[in-house]
Chain A
Amino acid sequence: QKEVEQNSGPLSVPEGAIASLNCTYSDRGSQSFFWYRQYSGKSPELIMSIYSNGDKEDGRFTAQLNKASQYVSLLIRDSQPSDSATYLCAVRGGSQGNLIFGKGTKLSVKP
């Protein structure tokens, strides 16, 4: 059974700080990794995808992938209260493009 693990949190950071969210996965052969943001009562929204080892930056967001250690992380710089949400890590789990989701980490950014 392929699994994706996340700390459920809540993770609380002050406004302006760096929020660091982590995710580990069990399938060493996984090739595609995603971070989704989900506000309470809303649907998941794709914010980052990463396919290669290393860092990928998009504005205040940086995704980091380490395939040897089987973890992927998301850094949010200059955290804002509007970043308060649950962040879902997802990993491609099969040939049909199916995604396996972690249970999510709840982030709270305090003004």
Chain B
Amino acid sequence: NAGVTQTPKFQVLKTGQSMTLQCAQDMNHNSMYWYRQDPGMGLRLIYYSASEGTTDKGEVPNGYNVSRLNKREFSLRLESAAPSQTSVYFCASRAGGPDEQYFGPGTRLTVT
């Protein structure tokens, strides 16, 4: 039982390049989330998916798109990376009833 997994762990992009961050959970959770964490800013919600087939914007969605591929997988896409998107990205999941969220190990993204 791996919990929440994320790939890649590290990535360096040039401005304007695109990439997709992958997240998968094996806990049969309904809801999944993407956060970014920046020094002094705390964790901020980018997008979330309350259930398979639905996605909604969070606090900082600009420059990102998401896909809830199935119940297990929730991906985050940067279409044209910008230096302001340099951050640590965390995926999290939550079962339908309790509010507790469980986090993946994170992806450290640098955009030059």
Once bound together, how far apart are the Cα atoms of A58 and B3, in whole Å? 22
Of the stretches A63-71, A73-81, A100-108, the one at the interface is A100-108
CB-based contact A46/B42 at 8 Å: no
A43 to B42, CA, bound (A): 12
The count of residues in chain B whose C-beta lies closer than 8 Å to any C-beta of chain A is 23
Within 8 A of A (CB), among B15-39: 31, 33
In residues 16-50 of chain A, which contact B (Cβ within 8 Å)?
Answer: 32, 34, 42-46, 49
Q: How far is the CA of A97 from the CA of B58 in the complex (A)?
A: 12
Most buried by B among A92, A96, A97: A97
Minimum C-beta distance from A45 to chain B (A): 7
B99, A46: Cβ atoms closer than 8 Å: no
A32 to B98, CA, bound (A): 9
Q: CA of A32 to CA of B42 in the docked complex: distance in angstroms?
A: 19
Q: A43-B103, A43-B105 are in contact. Are A96 and B31 (CB under 8 A)?
A: yes
B53 at the interface (CB under 8 A from A): no
Of residues A34, A46, A88, A96, which shows the largest number of chain B Cβ atoms within 10 Å of its Cβ? A96
Q: Are B100 and A96 in contact (CB under 8 A)?
A: no
CA distance A90 to B43 in the complex (A): 10
Q: Which of A34, A88, A104 contacts B99 (CB 8 A)?
A: A34
A88 touches B42 (CB 8 A): yes
Contact mask for chain B residues 31-69; partner A; CB cutoff 8 A; 1 contact, 0 none: 101000000111111001010000010100000000000
Within the complex, the shortest CB–CB distance from A87 to chain B, in Å, comes to 12
- Residue on A nearest B50 in the bound complex, by CB: A96
Q: Are B99 and A96 in contact (CB under 8 A)?
A: no
B-side contacts of A43, CB under 8 Å: 90, 103-106
Q: Is the CB of B58 within 8 A of A98?
A: yes
Evaluate whether A96 and B102 lie within 8 angstroms (CB atoms) in the complex, with A103-B41, A104-B42 already known: no
Q: Can you report 22 residue pairs joining A to B where beta carbons are below 8 Å apart?
A: A42-B105, A42-B106, A43-B103, A44-B103, A45-B103, A46-B101, A46-B102, A49-B98, A49-B100, A90-B101, A96-B31, A96-B50, A96-B56, A97-B31, A97-B101, A98-B45, A98-B58, A99-B99, A99-B101, A101-B42, A101-B43, A101-B44
